[in-house]
A and B are shown apart, each in its own frame.
Chain A
Amino acid sequence: MVTESYDLVVVGAGPAGLAGAGAAGQLGLRVALLDMAERIGGQFYRQPAAALGATRPQALHHDWDAFVALRGRLAAGRVEHLGRHHVWAVERDGDGGRGGPGERPGGRRGDGEWVVHAVVGEDGGEGGEGGGEGRRAVRVRARAVLLATGAYERQLPFPGWTLPGVVGAGGAQAMLKGGLVRPGKRVVVAGSGPLLLAVASSLASAGVEVPAVIEASGYLGYARHPRALAANPRKLAEGLTHGAALLRHRIPLRTRSAVTEAYGSERVEAVTVSRLDARWRPVPGSGRRIACDALAVGHGLVPGIELATTLGCATRSTADNTLALRLSSTQETSVRGIWAAGEVGGVAGAQLACAEGELAALAIAARLTKPGPYAGPDPRRPSGLDPGRPARVGQLLSRRARLRAFAEAMAAAHAPGPGWTDWLSDDTEVCRCEEVTAGRIRAAVTDEGARDARTVKLFTRAGMGWCQGRMCGAAVSCLAGDGQPPAQRRPLAVPVTLGALAAEGPGCGQEPSRSQT
């Protein structure tokens, strides 16, 4: 068995991972870039499959030039891109890994500090392509790991949200960018956060009628952070671009409102939009129906940090009640040798992800090449950053500070109000996987004394299904009264078949496959 060894393994090929891998490669590190998707790009730069033959992929994107530059740096840095690699654990080499699967007899030691475990295949291995490929498990060794696994959407359930045709707002965007398809012809976009504007403008430019964008917060919230706004003209311009697109397509934006119910027999046929008070409680009698054949909905994003929390990395709460990784000034987590960049450190968008990825790469190169040309801490800069390129480091640090401030303002402006639970009826399913209703969860809290999401999960199975609580976690925590989903420590960050685990045993690991970028 051969396990490849690298200086740096980057998990996630979105903006953060691309910037990190490219910069590290150019600094001379041997880098592998793993992503479950076949193609690089992550959410922001998600591209149609090559076989779809998109001659104008840039039409689906802002900032395509930046992506072309990132792609060029990957090639220049000779980064090994390993697509269709679903990483399910990272563990310390040889120590059994806290929460990791443990050392196997016969496992090799000494090549690097970390072992990254992945299953290879389109969806991580349920038979796959003729039955063979799906069972492939690989291990990759690294001296340092950069986690850039991005985010997923936060969902707040409402009656009817399990009807076919109700899809995540980011999900609709992903299906559009990746598969060039749309969920319907008349699609209401609802929830909260700036992603809604991007989704509505993409859908409209792809021929979808968008009768309204429904935003639960107001955009006035941003005005409370004048300095963050003034320092980020590019972010404002981005907002204006989407705003202009809405105007051009004559799409009304209704703030302080929410979709409080979706109707339909086989699929969604209409939604009710209600006005919200300051606490996000629906204003009685304000409901108004909008006919549609699909609804794209999401209430902001949640950092996808399971790999890190399983390793014991420390977290922090964000202004909109999500858990993000707590990072040092050089993007290192509380576990030495594990770095992170992008949405995992707090949702803040693609530009910040790029800046953080590059900063992390500089810091990792400084650490790994010690006592080489980058050695020696500089008192004027956070220790560990490459003092050979002070101008670049300074630029990245100030960009990061500016964009983080904007992100905090954004998170505060779109934080869900506590009154949203008023739009749940007792028979609304909250956990989609285990089909657990709001009524059942409320009973666990009021009658059985559950006080947090963990206990609710034990009593009701909410959050125990296939998605591991990613879809219902935020909602269950609110209903349980603890406001925030607990940090997850999972042996497997992605579901893995028993076959794949067995295949990981001594002597069975395989060479990572190389797929094209």
Chain B
Amino acid sequence: MSRRQRWSGREARVDGAARTPGELAGARPGPAFEITVDGRALPALPGQTVAAALWAAGILAWRTTRAGGKPRGVFCGIGQCFDCLVTVNGVANRRACLVGVRPGDAIGTQEGEGRGELAV
């Protein structure tokens, strides 16, 4: 097996700790594509969730709460807390930690009332 691993074009160290999670797992994703977040273009990788693409871009918050208007993003990471709700291509209340990104997706931060039609 090749001792060089690719992750976003960077070369890996194979001894000791990796520098990134992708390097650790020897990730060789397909070519990056573009998504937009509130109109701003961002790169994303095939296989990433919306939350992973945002984290990879250093974005941790993409929703504001209904009462206090406070910023929120991923908390539980496994689809249980609903803190990561986001608007994807105009559809509100999607869980960013579960939904995968696709080329051209328009991600919108979500303000206030996000309850939509959830029948909780």
Contacts and interface: CB of A to CB of B under 8 A. Distances in A.
Given A468-B120, A499-B117, A126 B67 contact: no
A127 B118 CA distance: 12
A151 to B, nearest CB: 10
Bin the interface of chain B by size. 35 or more
A57 interface: yes
Contacts of B27: 48, 52-55, 180
A283 interface: no
A223 interface: no
Contact of B68 (A50, A178, A435): A435
Nearest to A53: B28
A127 to B, nearest CB: 4
A36 B79 contact: yes
Interface in B18-70: 18-30, 45-49, 51-52, 55-56, 60-61, 65-68, 70
Contacts of B52: 175, 178-181
Contacts of B73: 164
A122 B24 contact: no
A495 B118 CA distance: 6
Nearest to B45: A52
Contacts of A57: 25
Contacts of B21: 60, 176, 180-182, 206-207
A206 B77 contact: no
A57 B76 CA distance: 22
**By CB atoms of chain B within 10 A, which of A162, A171, A181 has the most?**
A181
A55 B91 contact: no
Contact of A122 (B55, B93, B99, B119): B99
What does DSSP make chain B's interface, helix, strand, loop or mixed? loop
A56 B28 CA distance: 10
A471 B65 CA distance: 16
B75 A168 contact: yes
A249 interface: yes
Contact of A162 (B20, B23, B26, B70): B70
B26 to A, nearest CB: 4
Contacts of B20: 180, 182, 206-207
Given A176-B21, A180-B22, A162 B118 contact: no
Given A171-B75, A174-B77, A471-B76, A51 B29 contact: yes
Interface string B106-120: 000000000111111
A351 interface: no
A153 B76 contact: yes
Nearest to B90: A127
A466 B26 CA distance: 36
A38 to B, nearest CB: 8
A391 B98 CA distance: 42
A52 B29 contact: yes
A53 B89 CA distance: 26
Contacts of B115: 466
Interface of A: 36, 43, 48-57, 59-60, 122-124, 126-128, 131, 134, 152-153, 162, 164-168, 170-176, 178-183, 204-207, 249, 266-267, 294, 429, 432-433, 435, 465-468, 470-471, 492, 495-499, 501
7 closest A-B pairs by beta carbon, nearest first, are: A171-B77, A179-B52, A51-B47, A49-B47, A466-B82, A55-B26, A127-B91
23 contacts: A49-B100, A52-B27, A52-B48, A57-B25, A126-B93, A128-B91, A134-B91, A153-B76, A164-B71, A167-B74, A170-B76, A172-B77, A174-B97, A178-B52, A179-B52, A180-B25, A182-B55, A206-B20, A207-B21, A432-B81, A432-B83, A433-B82, A501-B119
Interface of B: 1, 5, 17-30, 45-49, 51-52, 55-56, 60-61, 65-68, 70-83, 85, 91-95, 97-100, 115-120
Given A36-B79, A467-B83, A492-B120, 10 more contacts: A48-B47, A53-B27, A53-B30, A56-B25, A57-B25, A59-B26, A134-B91, A168-B76, A174-B77, A179-B55
